[in-house]
A = this chain, B = another copy of it.
Amino acid sequence: MRRIAFLLVVILCSPLLTVGQQEEQAKLAGFFGNSSADEQAWEQKFQAIPSPDNMIADMKLLAARPHHVGSPYDEKNSEWLLAQYKKWGWDAHIETFQVLFPTPKLRVLEMVAPTRFVAQLREPPVPGDPTSSQQSEQLPTYNAYSPDGDVTAPLVYANYGVPEDYDQLARMGISVKGAIVITRYGHSWRGIKPKLAYEHGAIGCLIYSDPRDDGYYEGDVFPKGPWRPSQGVQRGSVVKMELYPGDPLTPGVGADAHAKRLPIKEAKTIEDIPVMPISYGDALPLLKALGGPVAPSDWRGALPITYHVGPGPAKVHLKLQFNWDLKPVRDVIAKLPGSTYADEWVIRGNHYDGWVNGAEDPIAGQVALLEEARSLGQLYQQGWRPKRTIIYCSWDGEEPGLLGSTEWVEEHGDELATHAVAYINSDTNGRGYLQAEGSHSLESLVNNVADEIQDPEKGISVGKRRQLAALARTESPEERQKLESQKNFILGDLGSGSDYSAFIDHAGIASIDYGFGGEAGGGIYHSIYDDFYWYSHFDDPTEAYGRTLSQTAGTTIMRLADSDVPPLDFTGLSDAVGRFVSELEKLDKSEINEIQWQNKEIQDGIFAASTDPTKKFVPPATEEVPSPLDFSPLDDAVKNLKQAAGHYQSAFDKVQEGTPASGASFQTVDQDLISTERALLYQEGLPGRPWYRHELVAPGIYTGYGVKTIPAVREAIEQKNWSQAADQITIVAGVLQKEADSINAAASALESAGQ
């Protein structure tokens, strides 16, 4: 009672709450003349339709049995999805690809010294959770795209297995050469861990979930609470997605019946050493048996032991064999035709395959997408006609490596280059705050939508809640002031880890990734416990946030499909590029400072004076201090980009303020707008990974999912490859100039069309 009273006071008093209402009466960006009022009417109808009850029923059905790639239930789900789209009036079909998807044949992990211990490698069913006992259909715990292997070696603990951890091992004088490395999940995408272990000479790799990050430290474990129990394991792909996602055998082309396939041995994205995920229950005896130095303080987890690094005396035997079969992935593709610009495609997607029952990941997102499709179908029956073609995609095969979406984008590359306006993705979903990442040209649109959709818990808009929560997290008056002065919240940048990757990174299609979350913690990711029982007890039991995701993503789709001109905005984009460039300049300075400082630490005896002689310490070697990079080409490009953004903005405002001649066509404008994101591609791709062509964002070569902005330059600096950094500055500046030209062209076209 108290809480509710308190909230009411806030709602009644806050002057900011009227903003959304005022905007509703104002014209929507990109809608000219009367079209704005029409759009608002249709959007309101739309937002009333998505039904939480339907979502609960759909989740129960789709997550009823394990449904990984190639499983009978995954196929059954695809047929059911197809039938739904058709029932709702969509033009739907299944598009099938044949992809390499290894599954376990043999898994052995045992400690052979100093004592013997055989790992359980099995998640026990939980009484009361009905689907956790479907053991015959569950994929065993494993990392997909580990190679076969049979290795026995001393164990070394390498923390999260990220580059800095290997630096730290070097300082301790510890090598992983010939060892099996045990790392914990977190701080990088899992595929980075065996890759780095291999690069440093290890012959095997284990990845476990430490209870500090994902277990009892965070909260009560399942089934008492939502967190990972002792034997819970995070399955997952370790395919080298940072080189290219999708089928390892068909890089760059759709894995259709005619595709040329690489021999497995030549597939560059399969790992080099055997790797397996384990539970903290299985990890405890291994870590407890380690000797050697005590682990640095930020390496220690929440197991009740003193963490040691090794090597040994724990010695481990790891044996893995897989079925290396091709399996079908079935993408369910559904269309509503555009009335005016049928050749302009607004695309929406969410995968439906799971590692096991996958209720949160991905069915929570899939059921929201389904309710959007049903609602849009209903509007269509009521006479609503989107100007542009809408394509809804239920992707298969996301879990092993974004297989379904990547193969589809590769298969339809040429069409997409011409037709795609934007791609809106979602994946997992839950109770909490709006999370939105994506192309900054869509930043303004996302903000407008977020200001209109109500948060189901708080009675304010999801945009407002996001803004207030960001304020709550600030730590200084300066941060607060900065945040409050921002007109729009800034979109996060897209790394990887969901189906937008091929759209943005390879095809240069402006993309958004939406999701709600952050309130319902949990540790069932990629385990048998990610099921309906868990979701309905611990995440979003009423599907209130499923409905909110439907409203948010569906409204975004409608706005893109219905507008006279898609409401793209390049101010956010040019601001973002300005930020990225100044971050690069700071990074270069700080790398130089760090090298200078490290040299000084060696030369002035700072290391020598501050180390304990009873503990081994190997100082780093002195390094040559590089000259500062010349960032002026990028600085110039940012200037031009800002000018172009201003040019487009004033053209757009002018058309928006006036009333364009009835029947005025904006088709050329649209084509120019569509090409602005394509202009950010560099056809030869990023250094060493040509599949990645976007010059503003890519997943990091040593972070995996984690984004790197202006990756060609940033990663060259991080890897201290100064000549490559200089070369890439020129290339990126050229691409940014192309982008400015492209925006200017759209502005001129708009000026002509609007007259």
Hey, which bits of chain A sit against chain B, CB under 8 A? 2-3, 6-7, 10-11, 13-14, 16, 211, 216-221, 225, 227, 294, 300, 302-306, 431-432, 457-458, 460, 464-465, 468-469, 471-473, 477, 480, 519, 593, 597, 601, 603-610, 612-614, 616-619
Query: For residue A294, which residues in chain B have a CB less than 8 angstroms away from its CB?
Result: 219-220
Partner of A609, one of B468, B601, B609: B468
Of all chain B residues, the one with the shortest Cβ separation from A476 is: B593
Query: For residue A601, which residues in chain B have a CB less than 8 angstroms away from its CB?
Result: 471-472
CB pair A11–B605 under 8 Å, yes or no, is: yes
CB pair A610–B469 under 8 Å, yes or no, is: yes
Question: Can you give 11 A-B contacts (C-beta < 8 A)?
Answer: A13-B605, A218-B306, A220-B294, A225-B306, A304-B304, A460-B605, A469-B609, A471-B606, A472-B606, A472-B610, A473-B610
CB pair B302–A606 under 8 Å, yes or no, is: no
Partner of A216, one of B219, B305, B608: B305
For the complex formed, measure the closest distance between the CB of A258 and the CB atoms of chain B, giving whole angstroms: 52
Partner of A603, one of B13, B603, B604, B617: B13
- State the CA gap A457–B471 with chains docked (Å): 50
Q: How many copies does the complex hold?
A: 2
With A16-B604, A303-B304, A304-B302 in contact, do A3 and B613 touch (Cβ < 8 Å)? Answer: yes
CB pair A6–B608 under 8 Å, yes or no, is: yes
With A294-B220, A519-B612 in contact, do A604 and B303 touch (Cβ < 8 Å)? Answer: no
With A457-B613, A477-B593, A610-B469 in contact, do A216 and B11 touch (Cβ < 8 Å)? Answer: no
CB pair B221–A306 under 8 Å, yes or no, is: yes
With A304-B303, A304-B304, A597-B477 in contact, do A465 and B216 touch (Cβ < 8 Å)? Answer: no
Query: For residue A306, which residues in chain B have a CB less than 8 angstroms away from its CB?
Result: 216-221, 225, 227
- State the CA gap A606–B480 with chains docked (Å): 12
- State the CA gap A109–B477 with chains docked (Å): 47
With A219-B294, A619-B6 in contact, do A472 and B607 touch (Cβ < 8 Å)? Answer: yes
For the complex formed, measure the closest distance between the CB of A599 and the CB atoms of chain B, giving whole angstroms: 13
Partner of A604, one of B14, B431, B458, B613: B14
- State the CA gap A3–B468 with chains docked (Å): 54
With A304-B211, A610-B472 in contact, do A480 and B597 touch (Cβ < 8 Å)? Answer: yes
Query: For residue A605, which residues in chain B have a CB less than 8 angstroms away from its CB?
Result: 7, 10-11, 13-14, 460, 468
CB pair A464–B609 under 8 Å, yes or no, is: yes
For the complex formed, measure the closest distance between the CB of A466 and the CB atoms of chain B, giving whole angstroms: 9
Of all chain B residues, the one with the shortest Cβ separation from A4 is: B613
- State the CA gap A218–B211 with chains docked (Å): 17
CB pair B10–A608 under 8 Å, yes or no, is: yes
Query: For residue A220, which residues in chain B have a CB less than 8 angstroms away from its CB?
Result: 294, 306
CB pair A458–B597 under 8 Å, yes or no, is: no
- State the CA gap A499–B28 with chains docked (Å): 74
Query: For residue A305, which residues in chain B have a CB less than 8 angstroms away from its CB?
Result: 216
Q: Give 10 nearest A-B pairs by CB, closest first.
A: A468-B609, A10-B605, A472-B610, A304-B304, A469-B610, A10-B608, A519-B612, A465-B609, A216-B306, A468-B606
Query: For residue A218, which residues in chain B have a CB less than 8 angstroms away from its CB?
Result: 306
Query: For residue A217, which residues in chain B have a CB less than 8 angstroms away from its CB?
Result: 300, 306
Query: For residue A612, which residues in chain B have a CB less than 8 angstroms away from its CB?
Result: 431-432, 519
* Additional pairs, 6, CB under 8 Å, beyond known A7-B608, A14-B605, A16-B604: A219-B306, A458-B613, A472-B601, A472-B607, A480-B597, A519-B614
CB pair A609–B460 under 8 Å, yes or no, is: yes
Query: For residue A477, which residues in chain B have a CB less than 8 angstroms away from its CB?
Result: 593, 597
Query: For residue A616, which residues in chain B have a CB less than 8 angstroms away from its CB?
Result: 3
- State the CA gap A79–B451 with chains docked (Å): 81
Of all chain B residues, the one with the shortest Cβ separation from A307 is: B217
Query: For residue A473, which residues in chain B have a CB less than 8 angstroms away from its CB?
Result: 610
Query: For residue A618, which residues in chain B have a CB less than 8 angstroms away from its CB?
Result: 2
- State the CA gap A622–B575 with chains docked (Å): 38
Of all chain B residues, the one with the shortest Cβ separation from A225 is: B306
- State the CA gap A65–B14 with chains docked (Å): 70
Query: For residue A7, which residues in chain B have a CB less than 8 angstroms away from its CB?
Result: 605, 608
CB pair A617–B302 under 8 Å, yes or no, is: no
